Each structure stands twice: as C-alpha cells, then as structure tokens.
C-alpha cells in the first residue's frame, strides 16, 4: 500500500522525519537526519537517513549522498567522543536478503563496538544487553552533533 508521492502509507523513517521533535532523532540536516535505532545492537547505534523516501543509493542525487556521508562522518566523531569505542561497524543493507529491516527507505547503520562486547547475545541468546536508555543516548549525543555542525538544528 502506498501513500502520496509513491511512498508507503507508513514508513518509520518518514514518520520520524515529519515529527517536529521525534524522541529518537539526534540531529537534522537539510537533506538527511540522524536517528537512534529503536532496537540497537549496542549503545549509540545510530542510523543516518535521507529525508526523501528513496530505496537505494542510485535513487539519491549527489547532494543527498554527500550529506549522508558528512553525517556518517559526524556520527563517527560523535560516537568516538561520547563512547570511546574500540571500533565501529558502518553499513548499508539494501534489500531483505541483505539484511534490511526497512527495505524501501535507505539508511546507514553505525554501531559502536568494544573488544569483548555483548553483541553476540542477539545471535545466541535472542537478547540484547544495553545499560543505557535511548533518551540518555540521545541527550548525550545531541550536543556533540550540534557542536560539530556549528549550530543548533533541532
């Protein structure tokens, strides 16, 4: 079922984009935004999402692709500052066979990783271990993104 403009009647990313102050949105730019993953693999699991409802990189014009990458770079810097991870997973899953949970709206995942972290729990125990509430993660990261951008966007 599709709504106006060819996008689905419901899309969690479009809903978050359209909400004036969505509780999971960390930062908004002109063509994309940063949002917390509602079901994170680790504390600080972010997604960078284009404002427009596009499914693939080839559907996005260069200006959107550039901002997606700039926001991914800012997310890397913000997560390194706030959480001091040992590493980061950064990726895009296009299509359900590739692991995409939301197949029609492009998004980039960035997940902080630590040596010996509990990320394996999702696979073997069907449980996730997160010592921080999503609202605390948002409040921790938002001022860093604003400082990196040199402005308050929310």
68: domain CATH number is 3.30.428.10
In a domain, 150, yes or no: no
Of 22, 53, 105, 107, the active-site residue reads 107
Please provide the distance, in angstroms rounded to a whole number, between the alpha carbons at the two ends of the chain: 31
In a domain, 19, yes or no: yes
In a domain, 39, yes or no: yes
Q: Which residue has the higher pLDDT, 1 or 50?
A: 50
Q: Which domain holds residue 48?
A: 10-145
What is the rounded radius of gyration, in angstroms, for the C-alpha atoms of the chain?
15
In a domain, 45, yes or no: yes
User: Is the C-alpha dihedral spanning 87, 36, 7, 98 positive or negative?
Assistant: positive
Q: Known catalytic residue: 107? A: yes
Say what the pLDDT of residue 84 is: 96
In a domain, 97, yes or no: yes
Q: Is 3 a residue whose pLDDT tops 80? A: no
In a domain, 5, yes or no: no
> How many domains does the chain fold into?
1
What is the percent of the chain with per-residue pLDDT over 70, rounded to a whole number? 82
Which pTM does this prediction carry?
0.79
> Among 7-21, 43-57, 99-113, which range has the highest average pLDDT?
43-57
In a domain, 2, yes or no: no
HEC profile of 50-79: ECCCCCCHHHCCHHHHHHHHHHHHHHHHHH
Question: Predicted confidence band at 20 (pLDDT cuts at 50, 70, 90)?
Answer: low
Q: What is the dihedral of CA 146, 149, 150, 154, to 10 degrees?
A: -40
In a domain, 4, yes or no: no
Say what the pLDDT of residue 11 is: 87
Task: 69-73: list long-range contacts, CB under 8 Å, 24+ apart.
Answer: 70/29, 71/27, 71/29, 71/32, 71/33, 71/34, 72/48, 72/108, 72/110
What's the pLDDT tens digit per position in 59-110? 999 999 999 999 999 999 999 999 999 999 999 988 888 877 888 899 999 9
Q: Is 129 a residue whose pLDDT tops 70? A: no
């Amino acid at each position: 079922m599709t709504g106006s403009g060819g996008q689905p009647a419901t899309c969690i990313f479009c809903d978050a984009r359209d909400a004036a102050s969505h509780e999971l949105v960390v930062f908004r730019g002109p063509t994309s935004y940063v949002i917390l993953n509602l079901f994170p693999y680790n504390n600080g699991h972010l997604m960078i999402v284009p404002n427009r409802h596009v499914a693939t990189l080839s559907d996005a014009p260069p200006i959107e692709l550039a901002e997606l990458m700039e926001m991914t770079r800012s997310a890397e810097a913000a997560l390194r500052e706030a959480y001091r991870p040992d590493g980061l997973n950064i990726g895009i899953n296009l299509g359900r066979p590739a692991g995409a949970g939301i197949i029609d709206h492009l998004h980039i995942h960035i997940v902080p990783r630590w040596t010996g972290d509990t990320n394996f729990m999702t696979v073997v125990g069907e449980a996730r271990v997160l010592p921080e509430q999503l609202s605390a993660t948002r409040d921790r990261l938002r001022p860093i993104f604003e400082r990196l951008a040199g402005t308050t966007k929310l």
